[in-house]
Structures are given as structure tokens and as C-alpha cells.
A = this chain, B = another copy of it.
Amino acid sequence: MKRFEIVPNFSEGRRQDVIEALCRCYREQPGSILLDYEFDADHNRCVLTAVGSADALIDATLAACRIAREKIDLNHHEGGHPRMGALDVLPFLPLEDATMEDAVAAARMLGQRLWDELRIPVYFYEEASLGRKRLLPEIRKGNFEGLREAVKTDPSRRPDIGGPDLHETFGASVIGARKPLVAFNVYLQSLDMEIAKAIAKAVRESSGGLRNVRAIAIDTTAQGTVQVSMNLVDVEQTPIFRAYEFVAAEAAHYGAAVSHAEIVGLVPLSAMLAVAERSLRLRGFYDQQVLEVRLAREEKA
């Protein structure tokens, strides 16, 4: 069976009963497993992680969006995080035997059903983009309030499915497919934000650094450090150790040693094994040498 991870972001981070009702949709759907959920009152947003078959995840998401359509009104939504819909964004990530094409197909299926069954307009992003690849900030520019007006006059801002107007209270959703993203932060033994900014600029793709790396400097001087905060959007092509070694070398250039690092949220096993292989200089290692990996394969057989 082909399985996917999805990361639905809903615009609700304050009302526990609503968050719980959304989670329940993924927990109680047969074939879907809710792995994790986080919410933030300041952002007024919750982020769920679920794994399952495409059908199960799509059914669970439609159930959750029925609740969101009833309970969340973007006209009265306040929070620090950009947003344009009650279900704001949802990527499909292929797992195990599933391919990126399978994830794109699942995203398209969900988008079609959101419009057909709930009249929610949908934009496709990342690998599921129609035509040229679009990223979230471009689609969400102006937030719910700005986008609601933009679609009236600018055809290029209109939804890929449904619309052209946004849903009156729900707004619209951005659905897509992408590889797993690893949130990786490196802390430096320094109180100089200029150094963290220079390293973030050096390492990120957009200013000439490493492909597949997004980076900003974060002020953590209250903890006696500064942070280079990275999103690694393709750890097969640009592994975690490459980002780490790049930042450590840049830090050494400025005389600021690495204090420590952290991975926020989930990380694929293969990405962690790649780090171990690198640092032990392993040759000929394969994932099936890990007892638990071998065991999982035999249990499925």
C-alpha cells in the first residue's frame, strides 16, 4: 500500500475544542494515523501530522474541513502567522514506495473534492503546481484580506480549482506535494547577530549558498547564543551534514564556534543514517543493516 505523510495547517490555535475536533478526524479515520499536532495561540494556528493511504487522508481532511468551515471565520481571525484559509495549507509527502507523482495525484484529488463537495477554492503549490512551480508565499501574498480583493481584478491570482471568489468565511486552501522538510537550527557561541546574519546569508540558496537550504538568523542572545535557523527542503540532494559543516566552517571564519544544534519536529530515518555514515566514513552501509529496519521489513512480508 502506498502511504503519505500530510501536514495540514489550520487557522485555529486558541479554541481547544475546535483543535481537538480537527485532530479527531485524522485519529478516527480508518487507515489514517495522527502522528503529531502542535498549536500556538499567538500564531492562532495548529499544525497536524498524519500518515496513511491517499484515500484515508483525503476523507479525513474533508471531514476536518467540514468542521473548519463551520467553526472558523477568517473575517474574525487574528494571529501573527500569515494565512489565507481555514485550512491554510496542506502538503502531501511520499513515504516508502510512494513516488512524488503519487503525491501530486493525491493532492489534485483532494483539491478537486474540496471544491466539489465543500465549495472551497484551491490553489496548487510546490510539486503539484499547475504549470510553473509556485511557492506558498507567492500564492498567499496579501493574506485572506488582500487575496479576497486581488481575485476580483487580477486573473493571475485566481484559484486553480473553483472560485474565482474566495469562500466567504473559509477563504481558500493551498494544497501540494513536496519532499520532507527538516527544520535544523545551529546555535553559535556568540552574541553578535551580525555574524549569524552573515552565515545565514552565506548558506542559503537564494543568496548564492547551498541548494535546497533556506536560512535566517534568529536572536537567541537571551540564551547566550545566536542562531542560524534553516529549513532543508531536500535532504537527499543536500544532506543535513552538508549544511552543518558549511555553517561550522563559516562560524570558524568569524571566530564563533558552534555551541550546539537542534532538529525541530520530525526527520526521516534515512537523513539521520546519512549523517552517521558520513561521520564514520562508512563504506557499503545499507539501511537494512539497522536491526529495526530489517525487522519492520520482515514483519510486513
Contact = CB atoms under 8 A, between A and B. Distances in A.
Contacts of A51: 295, 298
Secondary structure type dominating chain A contacts: mixed
Contact of A241 (B180, B240, B279, B295): B279
Contacts of A284: 262
Copies in the complex: 2
B258 A281 contact: yes
Interface in A235-292: 240-241, 244, 258-263, 265-269, 272-273, 275-276, 278-285, 289-292
A33 interface: yes
A5 interface: yes
A28 interface: no
Interface residues of A, number: 44
A34 B280 CA distance: 29
Interface in A118-140: none
Given A260-B282, A280-B241, A281-B260, A292 B275 contact: no
Nearest to A3: B295
Interface in A25-42: 33-36
